[in-house]
Structure 1
């Protein structure tokens, strides 16, 4: 168990809620200029919605979901979302689904990242936090900002409980139609936080991997546990 997972296990699973811990993001990409250039070029291709260039920058076996074969053909379908590939009830949502996928890809690759033990570069940095096995990962969220207001009530005018920065919090019952979510800090404190600052711990993450030829490639873009 690495330091991040051990620390969080003590916080979330100890005999009593007694401490909180912050995980400020540090982008390790700066350690490798070739990685910085590849990521910058890839982000430009994504911003231009250049499907073929983005697909060409991916691994031959790019991992895209927990229940599919992945690969460039599947990646291309995800990027283009052909209406005839959707069930009839979702065909009129093809444009929205396509734009959402591109946006998620861009935002994920724009996040600070870290190198794992195999030298793969993963984004975002909070993906390296290993949650305790006893915790439902779908209730865990990361406050991906500094000095985010925690309030006593679900409104902008609610009394302030505290300011939260880069912490793992628990959202037992996330309400997609609500602006503010009821959360619990790891010391047991409860309150309400604006949903814009909460990032699912099982949300999108991406990995860039250097090939045997020495070229960086996008090899993982996936969401879920």
Structure 2
């Protein structure tokens, strides 16, 4: 089931929409076999066991919007041979490799939901349907409860409010800034710590049962 986010003319004018909260609910417990598979997969990821993770993937695992997918592409992403990178990025191969593993581990650790076809998707906020008028790259999910929204980008700045599991809009994300300027759906503005902001175009993963009844990792992708 998808949850529609009703925003109206989000980025135009002072009158926007009521704020909505989407608290995380993990539906994995509905299928004990899924829980067992996800726990085992997470253990393999934590151990950085490339062979075991690749073995748990679908034959046609979807990994990018432009690549071929499949176990070979997954293995290449997990190993990340520096020779496959441009010269300017080769020196960062270790950092990029670890970031990919960490993103996979973090995504698989998130609460998830079953879609109408019985596939299990993580994170749970991926089921929020954003309005077509909103650039999805500006949308972020507030992952925490009672996260401070501050008057300025300083941890000691006065608090405007406490925000829980909402969608926040960031027109210009500053990667080097600890605090990001956000716009809530009712027009409230403030600054929020980036650690609590998950991009709605960020990584998501899907676990799917094969025809033989075995769970597999069939999607791990980011982007719109």
TM-score (norm: length of structure 1) = 0.96
1:136 aligned partner: 135
Report the alpha carbon displacement of residue 52 of structure 1 after superposing the two structures with TM: 0.3
**In 2, are the aligned partners of 1:13 and 1:132 still within 8 Å (CA)?**
no
Q: Per-residue CA shift, 1:62-86, capped at 9, x if unaligned?
A: 0000001100000000000011111
Are positions 1:218 and 2:204 aligned together? no
Are positions 1:80 and 2:79 aligned together? yes
The CA distance in 1 between the partners of 2:139 and 2:2, in whole Å, is 19
Match runs of 1:75-224 below 5 Å: 75-224=74-223
SS in 1 for 2:160: strand
Q: Per-residue CA shift, 1:112-141, capped at 9, x if unaligned?
A: 000000000000000000110000000000
Report how many residues are paired.
221
Of 80-89 and 36-45, deviating more is: 80-89
**In 2, are the aligned partners of 1:12 and 1:186 still within 8 Å (CA)?**
no
Report the alpha carbon displacement of residue 12 of structure 1 after superposing the two structures with TM: 4.5
**In 2, are the aligned partners of 1:206 and 1:218 still within 8 Å (CA)?**
yes
SS in 2 for 1:178: coil
Report the alpha carbon displacement of residue 90 of structure 1 after superposing the two structures with TM: 1.0
The CA distance in 2 between the partners of 1:153 and 1:84, in whole Å, is 44
**Which consecutive residues of structure 1, in runs of 5 or more, have no partner in the other structure?**
none
The CA distance in 2 between the partners of 1:124 and 1:195, in whole Å, is 17
**In 1, are the aligned partners of 2:38 and 2:108 still within 8 Å (CA)?**
yes
2:41 aligned partner: 42
1:11 aligned partner: 7
More helix by share: 1
Q: Per-residue CA shift, 1:37-64, capped at 9, x if unaligned?
A: 0000000000001000000000000000
The CA distance in 2 between the partners of 1:18 and 1:206, in whole Å, is 30
**Which consecutive residues of structure 2, in runs of 5 or more, have no partner in the other structure?**
none
SS in 2 for 1:60: strand
Q: Per-residue CA shift, 1:69-106, capped at 9, x if unaligned?
A: 10000000000001111111111111111100000000
Report the alpha carbon displacement of residue 17 of structure 1 after superposing the two structures with TM: 2.1
